[in-house]
Amino acid sequence: MEGKAVEIGLYECNIIAGLLQTPEHARTLIEAAQPPYSPDDVDRMVAARLARQSVYERDPAPSMHFVLEEAPLRRQVGGTMVWRQQLERLLEMGRLHNVTLQVMPTNADAHPGLDGRIELLKFPDGTAVGRSDGAFNGRPITDPKHLRVVELRYGTIRAQALSPRESLAFIETLLGET
C-alpha cells in the first residue's frame, strides 16, 4: 500500500523505520530474531524490506513524515561502521524535499506513541488507512472516526518531537560522536 500512497506518516519507537534502513542495518535486525531465520529467509526478508524503498523513486514522490525515538538512533546495531552508515542514510533522507524526519528525544514527556508504532497512509482518492499498536488492537483501520484517533495521536507525537532542523542537527551530533 505504501507504493500507492501520496502521504506516508510513520512513528517508530524501537527501531529505525524500514523505509529508512540501510541494507546492512536491515540485515542485522533481521538476523537478531529468535529463533533465527535461515540464511535464505534472511536474504528474502532484506530484499523485501529494501524493495519497499522504491517509493522514493516515484514521480511524483509521496510526502513522507517520520518520527523516530532517540534510543534506536543511539543503539549501534551492527557495530560502529554499520551504525555510522545508518546515521548518514538518515541525514541523506532527511534532506530530501519530500521527507520530513523528526526525533523524539528520550527526555520528552509522555506521549501517545509510547505503546508502539503508528502508521498513516493517505491515497490520491482521499481514502486513508492507519494503524496504531496502542489502538484498535493494532489492526489496520479505514473508518474515518477511527482514523481521526490515529491522526490525533500521530499529530501529537510530531508536535512533541524535535523540529526537522533540530532533528538533523541531533543526528549530525550523534555521527560526530563516533
Q: Are 9 and 65 in contact (CB under 8 A)?
A: yes
62 upstream amide cis, omega within 30 of 0:
no
Averages of pLDDT over runs of 10 residues in the chain (178 residues) are 94 96 98 97 98 93 97 95 97 97 94 92 96 91 95 96 98 93
Please say whether the beta carbons of 120 and 128 come within 8 A: yes
| C-alpha cell, 108 | 520528552
Instruction: Give one word for 137, left, alpha or beta, with left for phi > 0 and alpha for psi -120 to 50.
Output: left
What local confidence, expressed as pLDDT, does residue 1 receive? 84
* pLDDT confidence of residue 157: 96
The residues spanned by each domain of the chain are: 2-17+60-176
Gap between the Cα atoms of 156 and 124, Å rounded: 24
So what's the pLDDT on residue 178?
A: 78
What's domain 2-17+60-176's architecture?
2-Layer Sandwich (3.30)
